[in-house]
Amino acid sequence: GSHTIHHVDMGQVLNESVVQAQQELQISQLVLQQRFGIPIQQFCYPAGEPFNHGTVAEQQQIVSLLAQDGYIGATTDPGATGTTQDSTAPFQLLRIRVDGRSSLQEFEGSMPW
């Protein structure tokens, strides 16, 4: 999935320029689609923003932009994690971070079950 072009805080970018926020979403999606030859419909918010510290209005606006660009879902990162997902909120799917910095034992210990 897409993760923006410049790994930016989407809430902050959105407040500075809706056009710039839209470009972060569209261009990263387009580049991946061109390179892999498949539709890119998933997004992961860099640092989970605006879902960790942003306002409800920012969250709603970024979800609207994602939907306009053909995305069908997005994951938060980091922040709340879990294995139970809410299908009524496909742009706020919880995720378990897997980044390779932890040992297998540490990763297993971080699981929410």
Residue 99 has pLDDT above 80, yes or no: no
As a whole number of Å, the end-to-end CA separation of the chain is 26
Residue 36 has pLDDT above 90, yes or no: yes
Q: Provide the pLDDT confidence category of residue 95 given band limits of 50, 70 and 90.
A: confident
Q: Provide the pLDDT confidence category of residue 78 given band limits of 50, 70 and 90.
A: low
Helix (H) or strand (E) holding 31: helix 18-36
Q: Phi and psi for 27 in degrees, rounded to 5?
A: -70, -40
- pTM, 2 dp: 0.85
